[in-house]
Structure 1
Amino acid sequence: MPDQEHTRTRDPDRLRVVAAIIVSAGEVLACRRNPERSAGGLWEFPGGKIELGESPQSALRREIHEELNTAIEVGDQVTIDVTIVEGRAIELTCFRAYLLSTRPSRSTDHDQLIWISPSELERLTWAAPDIPAVRVLVAEARES
């Protein structure tokens, strides 16, 4: 599906972000936020803010390059959910993504990266916005 530009007016109270569920050799990349950042110490899928005029897919490619210094192919949308964190609405859209180069070994926003089986994702302590996608991945792993 081609990238869709977002032309609707931004809701100033809603932070629109994207995350990549990067799949490689049957494992998913989980990233732990640096302690000094908001939600420090919690796990998340890598990604970031959608800039004005950016499609979610282009924002995701840009963010993954900036954070992990790697390129991805963006796949299908897994979830889109709004979570209230500290009084702010965060709209997180998660996409499956596939590496176009080697597995990343470091991140600008995270102090730890691990590759984990989808069935084991629930053993990590996740940031609230990522939990709906974790539930979908765990359910898919149980069905297969």
Structure 2
Amino acid sequence: MREVTAAIIVKNDQVLIAQRADNDKLAGKWEFPGGKIEPGESLQECLKREINEELDVEIDVLDFFGESIYTYQTGSIKLMAFWCKWISGNFTLKVHSKIAWAHSYELDLYEFAPADIPLVEKLKQSL
């Protein structure tokens, strides 16, 4: 099982979501940004690196939010999400086609990747 991280970045009661690019396996699906953990890397280090690589911003990783386990055709992933705070930088799309800031009551308007759906449901109760 692959371990993957996700950032729950909140600003003004809205959460950052990102749409997977057209060349991605899950093209068009929305997700909480993050990525695969490199060998020897902590979950927090992974999130900071991935968010910087994908969106060109710096974040602080705060408390653990929750996890989701999902089996895709390519294998199972364990998605571990953390509350994060945007520290600096301007959002630049490097691997996503779009980003959006959404209120919790707006999350149902977006089609999320299957592994992210349990996190969306939990987030709707948290914000």
TM-score range, shorter chain: over 0.9
Q: Which runs of 5+ in 2 are unaligned?
A: none
- Displaced runs of 4+ in structure 1, greater than 3 A? none
In 1: Cα distance, 2:113 partner to 2:47 partner: 18
> Which amino acid is the alignment partner of residue 103 of structure 2?
S
**More relative contact order, 1 or 2 (CA 8 Å, 6+ apart):** 2
TM, length-normalised to structure 1: 0.84
Give the number of the structure whose residues are more often strand, by fraction.
Answer: 2
Q: Name 1:95's counterpart in structure 2.
A: 82
Q: What displacement does 1:25 show?
A: 1.5
Residue pair 2:56, 2:90 contacting (<8 A) in 1 also? no
Does 2:61 match 1:74? yes
> Which amino acid is the alignment partner of residue 23 of structure 2?
E
Aligned residues: 127
> Which amino acid is the alignment partner of residue 101 of structure 2?
W
> Which amino acid is the alignment partner of residue 52 of structure 2?
H
Q: What displacement does 1:55 show?
A: 0.4
Larger of the two Rg values belongs to structure: 1
Residue pair 1:119, 1:137 contacting (<8 A) in 2 also? no
2:38 pairs with 21, 46, 51, which one? 51
TM, length-normalised to structure 2: 0.95
> Which amino acid is the alignment partner of residue 118 of structure 1?
S
Q: Which runs of 5+ in 1 are unaligned?
A: 1-13
> Which amino acid is the alignment partner of residue 20 of structure 1?
A
Does 2:11 match 1:24? yes
2:52 pairs with 56, 61, 65, which one? 65
Secondary structure in 2 matching 1:100: strand
> Which amino acid is the alignment partner of residue 66 of structure 2?
T
2:103 pairs with 109, 117, 122, which one? 117
Identity over aligned pairs, percent: 37
